[in-house]
Amino acid sequence: MGKPTGFMEYNREVPTDRAPLERINDWNEFHLHMPDEDLRIQGARCMDCGVPFCHSGVLISGMASGCPINNLIPEWNDLIYRNHWHQALDRLLKTNNFPEFTGRVCPAPCEGSCTLASIDPAVTIKNIEVSIVERGFDEGWIVAAPPASRTGKKVAIVGSGPAGLSAAAQLNKAGHSVTVYERADLPGGLLMYGIPNMKLDKRNVLLRRIKLMEAEGIIFVCNTEIGGSYFPTAKLRSDFDAVIITAGATLPRDLPIEGRDLKGIHFAMEFLSANTKALLSRSEDFISAKGKDVIIIGGGDTGTDCVGTSLRHGCSNVVQLEIMPRSPDQRAVDNPWPEWPKTHKVDYGQEEAAAKFGVDPRVYLTTATRFEGDENGAVKAVHTVEVAWQKNEKGQFIPQPVPGTEQVRPAQMVLLAMGFLGPEHPLVDSFGMERDMRGNIKAEFEKYSTSVPGVFAAGDCRRGQSLVVWAFNEGRGAARECDRYLMGSSELP
């Protein structure tokens, strides 16, 4: 390493974010840039640790430990320290098709398994990653690179989210002709309509990459629902040599309690996608939280995004109900390094809510019992109760209501952000593919072949709701196996 003692000499630093009360007035990205010299110092903190768990990408206790796409993190950290930015970009692009996305929205399991994190704050890997790729765009190093020749094989990809984009990029590199079908009006799937603009800028970051992929020969066909009468799956299979399904896990988990049919209760993705569409079209056609008491049911990234979006609309108040307990501030004994640290975190939405209303919006160990409506059939309150997790007769932990903790909370808008149950059934059924016990498309990890010959599946529709970086991993893997199916062998990583 360029600076073997750097981890002992320098402290962890991250870029300063825009002030919460400033950034809730617009939809611009809230992270600021760190000067190159400061980035080099942060790269110098990367240890010569012998076994770099940061790029291992293994599953420990069911969660990613290290980078699922095996980014060569120690190598490009060292190159940044030595001021070799172009070489660092080359290393980064060997494993990651879209570091401008992961560097913004990935929760950074690499940092959780950083060797330095076992004793000190982790290396600032995520920020260095996005800084490398943005330097590449600024310097003009990243340009369209179409393949030198074509194989004559055609591949259709259904779904243009993270898995679909990575599969398309890899197959195009191999020389296949790739067409990506998307039912929305713009490509990107979750990246376009699931993640708000303040986390991932649509025009300047996402569409910049889409245009580059189009210049490399990839065709995007939007406003097209595969499996219906307009474009039946039989036509897709006859027109292409192979198909990859990367449709995501878009079936939301509902909360079928009393009052669920009241007006003003929405799934989180309805709320978030309508907001992004309105931003891009500069229209007023969205579900507004302005002047409303908002209750968000469910934690996680989606719940946080609902908090941030509601604040930017100008909500009167926001409360986020979480049925799970608050995580500890430090790693628990049964959560050792290099496992993903299940510790308490304050994300951007909670930080903004606390700045505006003086308190973190999250209420733990609490669930909704019924929705109360007004005379017009609109929600006006949510009845809640605290819960305690106790074992049932089967030895399973389940939430039990705690008597005497009932509460009525005002709400003119309720957002359900409780996760997803898997892919939507009509698409899967139209292909006649087998499903696993959880309702996902049945296809073995690292093989990705479905029960239908020539049809592959990757991403959340195969593994269930997961991280964006796992979708990139699976898209790349499915591309490799699809290439092997078409050509008999593959040189794709």
CATH number attached to the domain at 154-250+421-487: 3.50.50.60
What is the chain's length?
Answer: 493
Q: Is the dihedral of CA 82, 84, 87, 88 positive or negative?
A: positive
Please give the CATH topology (third level) of the domain spanning 6-138: Fumarate Reductase Iron-sulfur Protein; Chain B, domain 2 (1.10.1060)
Token pair for residue 286? Answer: 């969205």
| 154-250+421-487 and 6-138 share a CATH fold | no
Unique residue bearing structure tokens 């074509």: 150
Buried b (16+ CB within 10 A) or exposed e, 384-413: bbbbeeeeeeeeeeebeeeeeeeeebebbb
Query: What is the pLDDT, as a whole number, of residue 228?
Result: 78
Other CB atoms within 10 Å distance of the CB of residue 284: 7
What mean pLDDT do residues 380-395 have? 95
pLDDT higher than 70, residue 1: no
Give the rounded percent of residues in the chain with a pLDDT score beyond 70: 100
Query: What is the pLDDT, as a whole number, of residue 429?
Result: 92
Going by pLDDT thresholds of 50, 70 and 90, the confidence category of residue 421 is: very high
Average pLDDT across the chain, whole number: 96
How many whole angstroms separate alpha carbon 193 and alpha carbon 188? 7
What mean pLDDT do residues 369-387 have? 98
Convert the pLDDT of each residue in 230-244 to its tens digit: 899 999 999 999 999
What mean pLDDT do residues 398-409 have? 97
| Class of the domain covering 254-418 | alpha beta
Number of alpha carbons in the 13 Å side-chain half-sphere of residue 172: 23
Query: What is the pLDDT, as a whole number, of residue 64?
Result: 86
Domain boundaries along the sequence of the chain? 6-138, 154-250+421-487, 254-418
